[in-house]
Amino acid sequence: MTDDKAKYEVKDQNEEMALDSEASEHESEQHKKDSKKEKGHRHSKTEEELETIENEIIELKDKHIRLQADFDNYRKRTLKERMELLKTAGESVLMGILPVIDDFDRAMQTLDLVGEDSHIVDGMKLIYSKFQEFLKQNGVKEIEALGQNFNTDLHEAITTIPAPTKQLKGKIVDVVQKGYYLNDKVIRFSKVIIGE
């Protein structure tokens, strides 16, 4: 009987061990499943976070590119404005000089009345040539008008007179006041008389 009892005990122990082993395997499988679920959950969570971060990076890159483009446009615009300002910075001063130029032109026309050998004539011609050079250096140039076709973008008609010749019909026959450009911008229109 003790042998039978020992056999039953060994059998019970074996069964217990088998049950423990099955339970352990079941727990191990459950643990693996739970671990896989957790890893899968963590993996999907990580993928979501990664996707969110990638979207943020794309947005930041886009913002960066736009900011660079905006800054480049701003830089170009301010450079262009500065160049325009430099071109026309002295416009008001030069506009104030235009009546002096007109008086100087009239004075040069009356030099014919004074003798050619006069030092006054030589001095006036020297000053006039320096003054013309100064205007040229500052971008001021005269609008050609005499004998040209009338152009409303450059000329202001004061009156019309009968044309002295057929070739001057519809053209400028006299300039009452010269017009001037400042760097290809008209700062004063030529006041002209047109032949009809």
Q: Six-digit token pair at 120?
A: 């006054």
* Best CA proximity match to 179, nearest among 120, 152, 5: 152
Q: What is the pLDDT of residues 78-130, one digit of tens each?
A: 999 888 777 667 777 888 888 988 888 888 888 767 666 677 788 888 898 99
* Burial classification of residue 179, based on how many CB atoms lie within 10 Å of its CB (0-12 exposed, 13-18 middle, 19 or more buried): buried
Q: Which residue has the tokens 């006054």?
A: 120
Q: What is the pLDDT of residues 11-60, one digit of tens each?
A: 556 666 666 666 566 666 666 666 556 655 666 778 888 899 999 999 99
* Best CA proximity match to 188, nearest among 89, 81, 91, 85: 91
The domain spans of the chain are 1-89, 91-195
CB atoms within 10 A of CB 157: 14
* Best CA proximity match to 175, nearest among 83, 106, 77: 106
Q: What is the pLDDT of residues 135-163, one digit of tens each?
A: 888 888 888 888 888 888 888 888 888 87
Does the pLDDT at position 7 exceed 90? no
Give pTM, 2 decimals: 0.55
CA neighbours closer than 13 Å in the CB half-sphere of residue 45: 6
Phi and psi for 190 in degrees, rounded to 5?
-75, 130
Query: So what's the pLDDT on residue 166?
Result: 79
- Give how far the C-alpha of residue 12 lies from the chain's centroid of Cα atoms, to the nearest Å: 92
Q: Does domain 91-195 have CATH number 2.60.120.580?
A: no
CA neighbours closer than 13 Å in the CB half-sphere of residue 40: 6
